[in-house]
Amino acid sequence: MTTAARIGDVIVRSFGSAADRKLLPEGRSLGPMPWVVAIMMFLAVLATAAGIGLSNAAGGLRSDLAGRATVQIVEADPVRRAAAAKAASAALRSMPGIDGVRRVTDAEIAALLEPWLGAGSIDADLPVPVLIDLDFAPADEAAVLARIEAVLARVAPGARIDRHAAWLAPLSGLLGALTLLAGVIVALAAAATAATVVLTARGALDAHRQTIATLHLLGETDGRIAGLFQRRIGLDALFGGIAGAAAAIVTLLAIGARIAAVGAAALAAGSIGWGGWLLLAGLPVAGGVLAMTAARLTILRALERLP
């Protein structure tokens, strides 16, 4: 039998026949397990979406800032400052590995300083540093930065290099930590779901001891009996998982609509994409498989201990 055939056989046996369903009716809306699973799935979907969004945002941030730096030329004498800026710009443009050199204009610098110094407070006597933006290949960033420092030490000894990625390194670390936290929440939700399934399986086994004894007398094997409980608990878990995932997806869509209305580009950069939506849609199925596996292992182990 091929692997696909084995999987199909397991699925068919998991749902069981009409006669099997009469032995252990589901009653999905009556027991607490589907609703516990729904709550866990709701949290797991939200945490997974948050983790995907944060990971995408961190990746986009690193991609945008990689290979970018700013050279600051700080000099009190405006004549010497202008000469150093001109020499540095010319030397940087002639360097291999530099894709772009752009001097930030005085108007742009004034606009940056205006919130702190006030409008019209910048004049010729204020020693405002010269800023030169650089774009270079991020693959050999360390080597390029070393060459830039060597060139600046020769033509503009007082210049300083600020890597854009270094400015937001704490933010990138925070996004990474929050992504890890989202993964931990998903793992805890899965563990809580498995624990709920184990308790439900044990309770169902105790409630149907007479039925199990009768089935044993009729020649049923432990594997066949475990399959009955596996089908029941798996369907209950799938019902709860779909309900919880649907509620979470509706919540995510509502949040996305609010973000689109606000027009926040930084938040929009953390979108989860089609791959993320497919992953979220597959979580209820994964939860059902987890529940069926936990139920089967629990029931088989319990049946082995029965006299």
d(CA 192, CA 18): 31
Residue 252, number of CB atoms within 10 A of its CB = 19
Six-digit token string for 178? 């929050």
Would you state the pLDDT for residue 222?
A: 73
CB proximity list for 201: less than 8 A, separation 6 or greater: 229, 233, 294, 295, 298, 299, 302
Question: What are the residues facing 102 on neighbouring strands?
Answer: 133
Report the run of H or E that residue 279 belongs to, with start and end.
helix 273-305
Averaged pLDDT of the chain: 78
Phi-psi region of 127 (alpha: psi -120 to 50; beta: other; left: phi over 0): beta
Give the tens place of pLDDT for each residue, 8-20. 444 434 444 444 5
CB proximity list for 29: less than 8 A, separation 6 or greater: none
When pLDDT is cut at 50, 70 and 90, the band that residue 244 belongs to is very high
